[in-house]
Chain A
Amino acid sequence: MTISVLAVDDSRTMRDMITLALKNEDFHLHLAEDGVHGLEVLEETAPDVIITDINMPRLDGFGFIDAIRDRAASRHTPILVLTTESADELKTRARNAGATGWIVKPFAQDKLIRALRMVAG
């Protein structure tokens, strides 16, 4: 089963890394550059899982998650937060905001895929 993923990160490098990691796997990837852009993409697609960065211009990860949870269509869509190792408090905040899980940057391909499978089947 192809899983459709929306990955939102303002860093091109991170978007590239995610693209590369999911390239030959059974994922259909949508990309967005920040929260606002992410919500726009969300209007057009219904991803099975959303990956989002926290520190982003215009609309950051917390605001983005809030907005996702506010939408009926994505209220229960799993959200994985991209975070750095040292930012434990961020994880807590993210989960309090409604995130499902997290991926610690830098991530290995198998870890990313495992996390996606864990929340999206």
Chain B
Amino acid sequence: MSDPMQEIRASFFVECEELLENLFDAIQEMTEDPANKDTINIAFRAVHSIKGGAGAFQLDDLVAFAHQFETAMDMVRSDALEAGDTLVALFFRCGDMLSDLVRMSREGEDIDPDLYAPLIAELAECAGISLEEEEAEVDPADFQPMTLDLDLGADVDADFSFEDADFDAELAAILNDPPAAEIASDAPSGGGLSVHFAPKQSIFENGNEPLFLLRNLSDLSLCDIQLSFTPSQSFEQALDAPGLAWTLQLLDGDDEIAAREVFEFVDGLCELTIERTSPQTAPEPMASEADTQLIEVEAPKSSTPKPTSLPDPAPEDVPTAEVEPPSKPEPPAKEPKPASAKQSAPSATVRVDLDRIDRLVNLVGELVINQAMLSQSVLQAGLPKNTNISTGLDEFMQLTRDIQESVMMIRAQPVKSLFQRMSRIVREASAAVDKKVRLVTDGENTEIDKTVIERLADPLTHMIRNAVDHGLETSDQRLASGKSAEGVVRLTAAHRSGRVIIEISDDGSGINRPKVREIAVSKGLIHKDSKLTDSEIENLLFMPGFSTATEISNLSGRGVGMDVVKSAITALGGRISISSTDGKGTVFSISLPLTLAVLDGMVISVAGETLVVPLNAIAETLTLQPEIIERLGPETTVISVRDEFVPLFDLGVELGYRKPKPSYEGAIALLVVQEDGARSALVVDDIEDQRQVVIKGLQDSYGSVPGVAAATILGDGQIALILDAADLLGQATGRSRDLSTLEKAG
């Protein structure tokens, strides 16, 4: 059985992510419109909710930090503090810390209070309060009693006596009140409590029900209960106290604390005395108290009286002199009721376990395959077109597509959360290298598969760091070259022709190509005489073992090169490209599939095997005419495509299915483009079809197979491998890299 607390804990952390997102949005808006109360309210609520939830799970560090953070925000909310640039910057850092603490709490890591102590000190300093003061404030004190300034009319009084009659009848039933004499004889010798309770009028205004209080009290002990009524001496007194009082003798219970707890909520709204009765003294006859004036003894906690707020409008016949409370330490501030235009009603959502969605995705995958198999069977059965079966089948196919797309949409998430993380990276990175950097984001609502988003975090982080560290110049350099001191890193996302394009650009100095070339030569990555185009030089950055930082800074020199970024993107079925303009900056462009579950593929056959090549890797298909084939050696063949030599590989050979053919004249080749723009031609025997295929991972069963991305099941039930063209050609071109840089004269 799963522990419901664990489930709530998990859902708390999910909620935290949303709250942190709101928090950062709000802080960001504060930079633009510091005076907006809605914004600071949103930020406050976010921190407050995190604190509230954290308390429930004993995440004390999180509570402690959130409390201090919230206190500062509350001061901004109440105009005690101005949200200037410094404070907003501090809020950003506190938000980052809060994210860290949330993450550490989620992972169950030990949190060293020293981690957040400096920020707490900064917050306290900004708020102008010493920590001691703050701690004193936290000290829990209970409700102060209130004096009453009520002005209820006679009609309420009448109401009250009516209720009163009800009470007594109900009480008798509940308490099964035995005659006093009987109880006295049964009274245990251990002594008990005598509770005297006289509600004031205000007790009803707050929705209290004396009946329940008495019943709760009676749960503690066998009770003897007596109602007394004291006629009011004056009109004013009648308004304050209805004159009703209950005296209860708790005969076999003497837990005074428990008895006081019963009256916790009405402290100050009633007269209450709780006394111990000694076992020797029998309870005084109640009748003697009935007509006496009530002795006002306040509960121990009572000290300074506080006025209550005004209840409903006073009836006209009440003396108004009494209406105004003497002093209101704080008017019951009413926040504006109407919803602000910015906050929309909570959208109706259902949270679903990711496993369930994945199961659905898989099932839909099966459905797609099944549908394809059915279509094929119908086709093979030779049924004529336009029969009911074939039209029905067409509709089935369309529906299947729609279902598949809808299911994929479930897994899609906006990139917003990812982008927000990047704004933190920019803040940290710019602080580390002491540059002024602004992150501009666009297209935050662009949706991609959740897994893609998760796996993009690391590569993006690295690229953003690079942009800040290497891409942008220092403020002085920028000013010298006529730019503004503040550098801009731009992060955008957009849908383009069925893929998601994410661009990371900076307005720095652009890539220093001669230096890149020099480094590549010195590291033996290229020959010193190689002729490289600008684009090819830029793409050297993606080669393993390349790092442009001549001195390793503590920021981006973490042993992760752009080659790792590239392989991470490639693993997601994505491509990355780079373009740079001298003095204007650099743009990295990542193109990603919308989903990892299906891909558009070309079904081909080679050496009797059926394979699928991802369509996005294929630039064009061509039939090899004798005149374009040039043999350079026993194992090396190139073809000439529009005045450029492209290395030719036989897929059957590369996969080890067959030996090289003596001639490739008339063969079909796929022109495959790699991420770096390098092209290669792959010889296949036949192109069978072009269709969407459902990706079935092989990782779990076979690990990573070079040149093979995954597998799929075709319409006829046959299993086909999905080719990882980039990987395959990466290995193949490794043998003949020099060729790819050959350029045909003219």
- Determine the residue in chain A with the shortest Cβ distance to B38: A57
Q: How far is the CB of B246 from chain A (nearest CB, A)?
A: 16
Q: Is the CB of A84 within 8 A of B143?
A: no
Query: How many angstroms between the C-alpha atoms of A12 and B52 in the bound complex?
Result: 11
Assuming the contacts A62-B335, A85-B138, asked whether A14 and B211 have C-beta atoms less than 8 A apart, the reply is no
Q: Is the CB of B15 within 8 A of A12?
A: yes
Q: Does B334 contact A (CB under 8 A)?
A: yes
Q: Does A30 contact B (CB under 8 A)?
A: no
- Determine the residue in chain A with the shortest Cβ distance to B12: A13
Query: How many angstroms between the C-alpha atoms of A59 and B337 in the bound complex?
Result: 5
Assuming the contacts A55-B45, A118-B216, A121-B212, asked whether A98 and B56 have C-beta atoms less than 8 A apart, the reply is no
- Determine the residue in chain A with the shortest Cβ distance to B342: A57
Q: Is the CB of B330 within 8 A of A98?
A: no
One digit per residue, 1 when the CB lies within 8 angstroms of any chain B CB and 0 when it does not, for chain A 78-119 equals 110010111011011101111111100111000000010111
Q: Is the CB of A36 within 8 A of B334?
A: no
Which of A17, A57, A91 is within 8 Å of B56, CB to CB?
A17
Q: Is the CB of A98 within 8 A of B346?
A: no
Q: Is the CB of A86 within 8 A of B56?
A: no
Q: Is the CB of B143 within 8 A of A95?
A: yes
Which of B144, B312, B333 is within 8 Å of A93, CB to CB?
B333
One digit per residue, 1 when the CB lies within 8 angstroms of any chain B CB and 0 when it does not, for chain A 56-81 equals 11111011001101000000111100
Q: Does A11 contact B (CB under 8 A)?
A: yes
Query: How many angstroms between the C-alpha atoms of A20 and B309 in the bound complex?
Result: 35
One digit per residue, 1 when the CB lies within 8 angstroms of any chain B CB and 0 when it does not, for chain A 1-32 equals 00000000011111011001001000000000
Q: What are the residues of chain A within 8 A of B144 when measuring CB–CB? A: 92
Q: Is the CB of A121 within 8 A of B211?
A: yes
- Determine the residue in chain A with the shortest Cβ distance to B134: A86
Assuming the contacts A13-B53, A55-B48, asked whether A62 and B332 have C-beta atoms less than 8 A apart, the reply is yes
**Which of B200-208, B457-465, B524-532, B585-593 is the contact stretch?**
B200-208
Assuming the contacts A14-B53, A100-B265, A106-B55, asked whether A20 and B333 have C-beta atoms less than 8 A apart, the reply is no
Residues of B in contact with A, size category: 35 or more
Q: Is the CB of A98 within 8 A of B49?
A: no
Query: How many angstroms between the C-alpha atoms of A91 and B146 in the bound complex?
Result: 13
Which of A35, A89, A106, A120 is within 8 Å of B52, CB to CB?
A106
Query: How many angstroms between the C-alpha atoms of A111 and B209 in the bound complex?
Result: 19
Assuming the contacts A11-B53, A86-B140, A121-B212, asked whether A76 and B15 have C-beta atoms less than 8 A apart, the reply is no
Q: What are the residues of chain A within 8 A of B11 when measuring CB–CB? A: 12-13, 16
Which of A35, A93, A118 is within 8 Å of B264, CB to CB?
A118
Query: How many angstroms between the C-alpha atoms of A59 and B398 in the bound complex?
Result: 46
Q: A58, A77, A85, A89: which has the most chain B beta carbons within 10 Å?
A: A58
Which of A37, A106, A117 is within 8 Å of B216, CB to CB?
A117
Q: Does B8 contact A (CB under 8 A)?
A: yes
Q: B53, B204, B336: which has the most chain A beta carbons within 10 Å?
A: B53
Query: How many angstroms between the C-alpha atoms of A63 and B336 in the bound complex?
Result: 7
Q: Is the CB of A59 within 8 A of B207?
A: no
Q: Is the CB of A93 within 8 A of B52?
A: no
Assuming the contacts A85-B140, A118-B264, asked whether A57 and B343 have C-beta atoms less than 8 A apart, the reply is yes
Assuming the contacts A10-B45, A63-B337, A86-B67, asked whether A78 and B330 have C-beta atoms less than 8 A apart, the reply is no
Q: How far is the CB of B716 from chain A (nearest CB, A)?
A: 48
Query: How many angstroms between the C-alpha atoms of A120 and B211 in the bound complex?
Result: 10
Q: What are the residues of chain B within 8 A of A119 when measuring CB–CB? A: 207-209, 212, 265
- Determine the residue in chain B with the shortest Cβ distance to A97: B332
Q: Does B416 contact A (CB under 8 A)?
A: no
Query: How many angstroms between the C-alpha atoms of A107 and B55 in the bound complex?
Result: 9
Q: Does B306 contact A (CB under 8 A)?
A: yes
Query: How many angstroms between the C-alpha atoms of A95 and B143 in the bound complex?
Result: 9
Q: What are the residues of chain B within 8 A of A34 when measuring CB–CB? A: 346
Q: Is the CB of A86 within 8 A of B333?
A: no
Which of A88, A97, A107 is within 8 Å of B309, CB to CB?
A97
Number of interface residues of A (CB under 8 A): 55
Q: How far is the CB of B209 from chain A (nearest CB, A)?
A: 7
Q: What are the residues of chain A within 8 A of B556 when measuring CB–CB? A: none
Q: Does B658 contact A (CB under 8 A)?
A: no
Q: Does B165 contact A (CB under 8 A)?
A: no
Q: How far is the CB of A21 from chain B (nearest CB, A)?
A: 10
Q: B49, B58, B144, B213: which has the most chain A beta carbons within 10 Å?
A: B49
Q: Is the CB of B262 within 8 A of A106?
A: no
Q: How far is the CB of B463 from chain A (nearest CB, A)?
A: 34
Q: Does B51 contact A (CB under 8 A)?
A: yes
Q: What are the residues of chain A within 8 A of B332 when measuring CB–CB? A: 62, 93, 96-97
Q: Does B423 contact A (CB under 8 A)?
A: no
Which of A55, A99, A105 is within 8 Å of B206, CB to CB?
A99
Q: Is the CB of A56 within 8 A of B45?
A: yes
Q: What are the residues of chain B within 8 A of A105 when measuring CB–CB? A: 52, 55-56
Query: How many angstroms between the C-alpha atoms of A8 and B286 in the bound complex?
Result: 44
Assuming the contacts A57-B45, A67-B337, A86-B67, asked whether A101 and B264 have C-beta atoms less than 8 A apart, the reply is yes
Q: Is the CB of A100 within 8 A of B208?
A: yes
Assuming the contacts A55-B49, A105-B56, A106-B55, asked whether A100 and B206 have C-beta atoms less than 8 A apart, the reply is yes
Q: Is the CB of A10 within 8 A of B262?
A: no
Q: What are the residues of chain A within 8 A of B308 when measuring CB–CB? A: 95-96
Query: How many angstroms between the C-alpha atoms of A89 and B209 in the bound complex?
Result: 24
Q: What are the residues of chain B within 8 A of A57 when measuring CB–CB? A: 41-42, 45, 339, 343
Query: How many angstroms between the C-alpha atoms of A86 and B211 in the bound complex?
Result: 31
Q: What are the residues of chain A within 8 A of B208 when measuring CB–CB? A: 78, 100, 119
Q: What are the residues of chain B within 8 A of A56 when measuring CB–CB? A: 45
Which of B52, B58, B345 is within 8 Å of A84, CB to CB?
B52
Q: Does B137 contact A (CB under 8 A)?
A: yes
Which of B4, B48, B330, B334 is within 8 Å of A63, CB to CB?
B334
- Determine the residue in chain A with the shortest Cβ distance to B8: A16
Query: How many angstroms between the C-alpha atoms of A78 and B208 in the bound complex?
Result: 6
Q: Is the CB of B335 within 8 A of A60?
A: yes
Q: How far is the CB of B142 from chain A (nearest CB, A)?
A: 8
Q: How far is the CB of A22 from chain B (nearest CB, A)?
A: 12
Q: Does B523 contact A (CB under 8 A)?
A: no
One digit per residue, 1 when the CB lies within 8 angstroms of any chain A CB and 0 when it does not, for chain B 324-338 equals 000000101111110
- Determine the residue in chain B with the shortest Cβ distance to A80: B265
Q: What are the residues of chain B within 8 A of A63 when measuring CB–CB? A: 334-337
Assuming the contacts A93-B332, A97-B332, A106-B52, asked whether A78 and B138 have C-beta atoms less than 8 A apart, the reply is no
Query: How many angstroms between the C-alpha atoms of A82 and B345 in the bound complex?
Result: 22
Q: Is the CB of B55 within 8 A of A118?
A: no
Cβ-closest 9 pairs across A and B: A101-B265, A106-B56, A106-B55, A13-B53, A96-B309, A13-B12, A78-B207, A58-B339, A100-B207
Can you give 26 A-B contacts (C-beta < 8 A)?
A13-B56, A16-B12, A34-B346, A37-B346, A55-B41, A57-B343, A63-B337, A76-B207, A84-B51, A85-B138, A86-B67, A86-B137, A86-B140, A88-B141, A88-B143, A92-B306, A92-B330, A96-B332, A97-B332, A97-B334, A99-B206, A117-B212, A117-B216, A118-B212, A118-B265, A119-B265
**A interface, CB within 8 angstroms of B:** 10-14, 16-17, 20, 23, 33-37, 55-60, 62-63, 66-67, 69, 76-79, 82, 84-86, 88-89, 91-93, 95-102, 105-107, 115, 117-121
List 6 additional A-B contacts (Cβ < 8 Å) besides A13-B52, A106-B56, A120-B212: A11-B49, A14-B49, A58-B345, A84-B51, A101-B265, A115-B265
